[in-house]
Amino acid sequence: MDKPEFYQRLAAILDIEEVKPENVLKDYEQWDSLAILSVLAMADSQYGVTIRADEIRQVVTAGDLAALVEAKPK
Amino acid sequence: MKSIFKHRKISAVVAVVPKEEYRFDDEYPIFKLTADKAKRFKKMMSLDRHRIAPPNVCSSDLCQYGLQHLLSEGTLKKEEIGALIFVSQTPDYIMPPTSNVIQGKLGLGREMICLDINQGCSGFLLGLIQAFVLLEIAALPKVVLLNGDTCSKQTDKCNRISYPLTGDAGSVTVIERCKTENPIYMDVKNDGSRHKAIMIPAGGYRTPSTPETLKLREVEEGVVLNQEHVHMDGPAIFSFTMEDVPPQIDEILAFSGDTRESIEQFLFHQPNPFILKQMADKMKIPPEKLPNNVVSLYGNCSSVTIPLNIALNCSEPVLRNSPRVCLSGFGVGLSWISMVMNLGPLDVCKIVEYEST
């Protein structure tokens, strides 16, 4: 997985310039249920993986999210 | 579960929408959204407008209006109705069944079956199955399927996510026997282990209504709910629509001997434009074959989205010919049902506006 590209896509969803792996997603005002839905859609259409409800709830940082998408079988 | 119905056809579809139309651009200040946030949400969900019934109008009023319309037009006669099915999650009363109330108000004959069904997203197709089955035993030649939901009463007006996507509507579908074989293919699946993904937690007998269940809580910024409103587990619903529905479409096409090319229109339930587009892309169905405009123009009106979709996007072809269509409804239950059939030529296929008297 191209990590910089993934963080760029995440930044676009959050409508900000840049996201770093250590950034805590909940700290962003934009991290709401619509942003989560956009992330699930992005993971599905760009990376061919389906993230489950319980998995997305455990994610804390942007790095956790990248790792989750990367670890999923395609 | 797969099955085939024969010697059955749909002969009329009338969708009924309230006259009252509200535009997102006018409404968004209610949700306390900044202009910037509203713009992003509008773009993501292709929001434009929706129809909301006045507080005193029930889903049965919308359905009754449509049925009365067909009766006064003369395309349907009271003496032909062998069963009246009312599919809704917003009935008039807990008892008696709303189908009985409508039967009485319209003065229909006694020699018939009245049946209420509690189902939402897959409710049009579940109602069709019931209609096909009842035609086997009904003494009279036609079955009337009513779908009605006033979903706006199950959410808070200030809920910035669910309210703009919600719509109220009703529909009347007439089903009858036909001489030609006209095979209709169906596949039904249910998974009640995930019933909490879409639910109204209180107000029934498990958790009766109390002042506590009516207390509004803000679950995230701008998302206010009480226990008698619809609760949705967004991520769970998303994975359901991406993982469970597309394989069913593949299955039903294989079962009916069809391909994405042989189907002229995929007329699906429309929860919201974002999720439906994602699903269509995943299934590799081109957008021109899968209309996705019901929520932008009317709002998500639960089991009425499919008949409204037919009347909005397909009335010309189904009035003149009998295009091969794939219908699919998926959601609350969780329940997902798909069908393949030749739809038409119908006697009537239209949208009418309800006016309160």
Q: Which two tokens stand for residue B224?
A: 């206010």
Mean pLDDT in residue range A33-41: 91
Model pLDDT for residues B222-233, shown as the tens digit of each residue: 889 999 999 999
**In the predicted model, what is the mean pLDDT of chain A?**
90
B221 touches chain A (CB under 8 A): yes
Which residue in A has a C-alpha nearest to residue B197's C-alpha?
A53
Buried b (16+ CB within 10 A) or exposed e, B317-341: bbeeebbebbbbbbbbbbbbbbbbb
CB contact under 8 A, A45 and B281: yes
Q: Alpha-carbon Rg of chain B, whole angstroms?
A: 20
The predicted complex's ipTM stands at 0.84
Establish how many alpha carbons lie within 13 A of residue B337's alpha carbon, considering only the half-sphere containing its beta carbon.
23
> Does residue B357 surpass a pLDDT of 70?
no
The residue-averaged pLDDT of B47-59 equals: 96
Question: Could you tell me if B244 lies within 8 Å of chain A, comparing CB atoms?
Answer: no
Q: What is the pLDDT of residue B31?
A: 84
Cβ-Cβ contacts under 8 Å, B223 against chain A: 32-33
Q: What are the structural domains of chain A?
A: 3-71 (1.10.1200.10)
Instruction: Compare CB distances from B161 to A33, A51, A52 and report the shortest one's residue.
Output: A33
CA B275 to chain centre: 16
What residues of B are in contact with residue A42 (Cβ under 8 Å)? none
pTM for the complete prediction? Answer: 0.94
Region of residue B333 (left: phi > 0; alpha: psi -120 to 50; beta: else): left
Q: What is the mean pLDDT of residues B214-221?
A: 90
Q: Is cis: bond before B323, omega within 30 of 0?
A: no
What angle do the packed helices A3-14 and A33-47 form, to 10 degrees?
150
Domains of chain B from N-terminus onward: 2-177 (3.40.47.10), 184-344 (3.40.47.10)
Residue B32 confidence class, pLDDT cut points 50, 70, 90: confident
Lowest average pLDDT, out of A50-54, B59-63, B347-351, goes to: A50-54
Distance from CA of B87 to the nearest CA of A (A): 30
| Cα B86 → chain centroid | 12
Task: Give me the mean pLDDT over the B125-133 stretch.
Answer: 98
pLDDT confidence of residue B312: 98
